[in-house]
Amino acid sequence: MIEARELTKRYGDKTVVDHLSFTVKPGEVTGFLGPNGAGKSTTMRMIVGLDAPTRGSVTVGGTAYARPEELVSGIHAVATGDAVVAPRLTRRLLDAYAHQVLAPADPPVPDPRLGALSDREREVLVAIGQGWTNAEIAERLVLSESTVKKHVGRVLAKIGARDRIQAVITAYDAGLVRAKS
C-alpha cells in the first residue's frame, strides 16, 4: 500500500505539490493525470525517495523509501560483500519470527552441504546466522575483514546460497542457530 499524507514540496518560493494526500491499495491500478508542471513527476520522486517532501510523509508498505545516501550505502554494502538488510536487523527479525517460520517439527536433518565447510567456515556460517556484521565476525574470530569476506564468499558458494539471508536460513534449518526466546 502506498500512503501519502499532506505531501508538500517547495522549491524556493514555488510550491509544486501542495497538501496532497492519497492511498493506493495493493492490486489497484492508479495513474497521475494533469498538465505539465502539475507535480506528477515530483510526487513520484517523493514516493521513491529521490526527493524529500518539504512537509508531509509518504510510505510504501508502511515504510519510507531510503534517502539517496542510504541507497548509495546499500550499493556499497553489496559491492563489498555485505547485506543490504543490516545483519543486526536480520537477526532481530529472525528472533521475532523464526519460531513461527523456521522452527522444524522434527529434529534438524543433517545437511550434506555443511560437510564441505572447513571448521572456520562453519564458525563463519554460525556468525552469519547470529546476525553478525563482517566487522563483528572479524573482531570476534580474530580475522581481518578481507579474510572474513573471503570466508563468507566460500560459505555462500559451498552451501549454494545466493546471499547472507539464505545462509541464515541454512544455519537455522541445520540447527546451528536458534531463535532467542
Q: Is-contact 47 2, C-beta < 8 A?
A: yes
- The letter for the amino acid at 152 is V
In this structure, the chain runs to a length of: 181
CA nearest 133: which of 156, 164, 160? 164
155 and 124 in one domain? yes
In a domain, 73, yes or no: no
166 falls within a domain: yes
Question: Which pLDDT score is estimated for 24?
Answer: 86
Task: Compute the chain's Rg from CA coordinates.
Answer: 22
Task: Determine, yes or no, domain membership for 71.
Answer: no
**In this structure, are 58 and 84 located in the same domain?**
no
The pLDDT-based confidence of 143 (bands split at 50, 70, 90) is very high
Question: Which residue range is the domain that position 152 belongs to?
Answer: 79-173
Q: What is the domain count for the chain?
A: 2
For CA atoms 35, 39, 44, 50, the dihedral sign is: positive
pLDDT at 19 over 90: yes
pLDDT category of residue 80 using cuts at 50, 70 and 90: low
Q: Does residue 70 lie within any of the structural domains?
A: no
